[in-house]
Structure 1
């Protein structure tokens, strides 16, 4: 709750003898005002119901009601009066909400909170990259924020932004994926576009020229899924065929050799996949339509999950993960991987520095999938560089490294088991970046937490946040 006393406009009467009149002093005492909802820094989507609840007491302790309580917004003016009101017509942007109380003697005071109203985002479209974040509006317009040194925001320049800005070019998208220094998306036409860094050919444009606006991927097929990682990208066709392009360190493109690719190249093995995931890592993982896990690339820390003994230091093509677990998806991290089983259980393997495997055996490497602590049934999992987040129905848990608050538990202590993210928010999707995370509520409001040195949290600052904070409003295109 947020409360404060304001200076009263009433005049303090002073007796000629120099003594204060106790009665006039009491009458001059301003009311005590508190706002219960909304809480400070809350985020809402345009058109959603915003409930305002507050109360006030006068100098005698009596409750003030009705016209004595007035709600207002610095953007929209008077919102109504009374202890409880609601609105569905707040304009897009940041609102400084005040509740002003005036007692019978004319003394007044106010309490205030700040909220943000944004256009709704499409559920599950938020994506966190190295130091930037992107999401789709309900109309399919792409917005990005954070570091833009390689043009990964797609704005036509290299100016970073701590608030969401629209991607240039007028394209409408159905999905987005943010990598280390580039971004890719699938347009409504079915074609794929990428923008940002292209040092290793990760944009797939058949060149090494970077682009600060969306550039068409040079492919003979269309992709229904895309995943952008650290200097490389992978995609799946509707039939489940996998293609990768960009930097091929340790064979992470899975094409059977170590050559970089400037355009999509078919992954070896002829498998039919239902998901494929990259990361800021040297390995790639995918799940077949039969729910079997495969990984390829670097295996120096058992991150491919091949089991013991360590006979393969890296693989140029997909190898089966050593487990009987059926997977929905597998996500690579730095020297580790985590997957979500078809039953909703989380499994991790590889290096366990900082507790990133979520099994409390910190420092103990696992050569094959090891169940994460807890009896949670997850709907989604997302892996950052050294941490992991997973979502149950609408609650997000995170574990692993926490040096900049990326676990969202209002601390910087690393955790070897899942910790619930603070704030009592309901989330419909979550995406882990290098050292930050962003999540969407079911209504499409964005919240982010963790590292913010490049403005990747989108809250208009460059201050790291140890718990979720609403992203700033962005303009309607």
Structure 2
């Protein structure tokens, strides 16, 4: 097992168009059902949490028929793990975080970064696409991988410069729909299907055909087999991935272009020659997404099969011998030599020396190096063919309901996003990169905590729409949303003048995520006098007995499906025949998708 300090790989980044024509990966593979969205029929983890918080639907097309990554509402990046290079984006380089924290939205960290639609991470840096098509980055920058025109590490996000800009940049990158990150380089896919790159250019991983050792602002990636200096550029790209020192791009025709380091055959062109401009992966067609590690690459076909090339157990072919052309990944726990092969895959991810696949039934399989538990099968045994990833409570059941996988770029930790918007993580955890509040390495998945929790965590991270793994840090994009409702019941009805009327006021959180700092406000009618109040949780600020004033109750955080109630007693002081009307309103610090039902009013007859 190569150690956690090994050079990083990268997680898969993003298919941003509709599914390509359903041609199979070549050479022909065993038949399989169509790849697509799916979920497990049961929830063996017993979370009881609602479904439907998984990855976003198909990307829309704008009026110019270009790709549009804005498949869902923008969110806030959360980070956890090591922070020695500012990779948490929290304004400092001290310590590490074992639970998620918000990335700063400005240099003074007085606000959280928002309006982000995609994230990527690798090495010691992170990259985010904004909903306006701009790009921000933070963390390590020794090779210019943040793209701000400098080589200065950044503890808070900075804007990525436009092509050709030098620091201080006067204009910034725009029109971006997806990003990818390698050990010390970054890439962006533009709406027109072209690709930009910046950062370390060792082995030609930027694809611009030059011997320049690094670029601190974006350059254009050359066309396939283009002569240097390049006059034409790579186009028609639908998805990107970055390995540790190589790069991959899926094209609209289902072919895959690659460039950079090729010592292990990870470019797939049948050679071990480094390539400073893109080449085509040999014989590969029908690809819809790709992933790159330190010494291997993966591609998923529209038919749900997987091919791999490079070297090592992360190939999943049962052998691991160096191959410069794609081979089929074996079926789960298949005996070697394999006669059946992995099918039903929706997406893949690559760590440095291990691989993951999310399947259409919501389960996850993994293979490769496992000395730190990155395979998630409850052991530390290396696996040369895929095995099932266990559930958090042990390997009697399997991880389910998964829509997306990601891998720590060193290959030492793994991540899975479930369709309820929660996250599972496993593998190396010395820097807290699993996010469970501990620094205990695990061989099967743990549940990632909500922000601000401490082990053992009472609440889980929710509302996550995408994930990325760095060397020893993790980034998640979370969209927080909580639909609060308020309701009031009164007894008795009617009530006698001078009598006591009891209101039962209930606040319920319909989700999909927890509601933070829930407050109920009741402005008492002028025709009543306060008597008493009792709440099921939290506390109430109440007026003096006999007064007419405002009652404010603080319930703290209400989890999805959670509720709290107040029993409020008042004395009636009005004219018989004049009804008493009371109104209560619930609010929280979490955005509410349906604020019209936050207020409830009841009118009680007075006899």
Q: TM-score range by the shorter chain?
A: 0.5 to 0.7
1:409 is matched with which residue? 436
2:127 is matched with which residue? 134
1:35 is matched with which residue? none
- 1:121 corresponds to 2:113: no
- Measured after TM superposition, the shift of residue 350 of structure 1 is 1.6
Pick from 250, 259, 268: which aligns with 1:236? 250
Q: Deviations over 1:57-90 (max 9, x none)?
A: xxxxxxxxxxxxxxxxxxxxxxxxxxxxxxxxxx
Tell me the TM-score normalized by structure 1.
0.66
Please give the alpha-carbon distance, in whole angstroms, between the structure 2 residues aligned to 1:254 and 1:204: 16
2:202 is matched with which residue? 199
Pick from 282, 297, 303: which aligns with 2:310? 297
Pick from 446, 461, 469: which aligns with 1:425? 461
- Partner of 2:248: helix, strand, or coil? strand
- Partner of 1:303: helix, strand, or coil? helix
- Measured after TM superposition, the shift of residue 199 of structure 1 is 1.2
- Partner of 2:206: helix, strand, or coil? coil
Q: Identify if the C-alpha distance between structure 1 residues 47 and 198 changes in structure 2 by more than 3 Å, giving closer, same or farther.
A: closer
Is the contact made by 1:145 and 1:161 (CA closer than 8 Å) also made in structure 2?
yes
Q: Which runs of 5+ in 2 are unaligned?
A: 1-72, 76-103, 163-171, 224-233, 332-341, 392-397, 451-459, 482-607
- Measured after TM superposition, the shift of residue 329 of structure 1 is 1.8
- Measured after TM superposition, the shift of residue 117 of structure 1 is 3.5
Q: Deviations over 1:12-66 (max 9, x none)?
A: xxxxxxxxxxxxxxxxxxxxxxxxxxxxxxxxxx999xxxxxxxxxxxxxxxxxx
2:219 is matched with which residue? 215
2:579 is matched with which residue? none
- 1:396 corresponds to 2:423: yes
Is the contact made by 1:94 and 1:117 (CA closer than 8 Å) also made in structure 2?
no
1:105 is matched with which residue? none
Of structures 1 and 2, the one with the larger relative CO (CA 8 A, separation 6+) is 2
2:238 is matched with which residue? 224
- Measured after TM superposition, the shift of residue 228 of structure 1 is 1.4
Aligned Cα root-mean-square deviation (Å): 2.1
Q: Which runs of 5+ in 1 are unaligned?
A: 1-45, 49-90, 96-113, 445-477
1:369 is matched with which residue? 386
Is the contact made by 2:244 and 2:352 (CA closer than 8 Å) also made in structure 1?
no
2:300 is matched with which residue? 287
- 1:188 corresponds to 2:191: yes
Please give the alpha-carbon distance, in whole angstroms, between the structure 2 residues aligned to 1:276 and 1:366: 21
Is the contact made by 1:171 and 1:187 (CA closer than 8 Å) also made in structure 2?
no
Is the contact made by 1:245 and 1:263 (CA closer than 8 Å) also made in structure 2?
yes
1:319 is matched with which residue? 327
Is the contact made by 1:120 and 1:443 (CA closer than 8 Å) also made in structure 2?
no
- Measured after TM superposition, the shift of residue 443 of structure 1 is 5.3
Is the contact made by 1:155 and 1:165 (CA closer than 8 Å) also made in structure 2?
yes
Is the contact made by 1:151 and 1:195 (CA closer than 8 Å) also made in structure 2?
yes
* Number of equivalent positions: 330
Is the contact made by 2:120 and 2:126 (CA closer than 8 Å) also made in structure 1?
yes
- Partner of 1:277: helix, strand, or coil? strand
Pick from 175, 179, 196: which aligns with 1:176? 179
Q: Identify if the C-alpha distance between structure 1 residues 246 and 47 changes in structure 2 by more than 3 Å, giving closer, same or farther.
A: closer
- Measured after TM superposition, the shift of residue 288 of structure 1 is 1.1
- Measured after TM superposition, the shift of residue 442 of structure 1 is 2.1
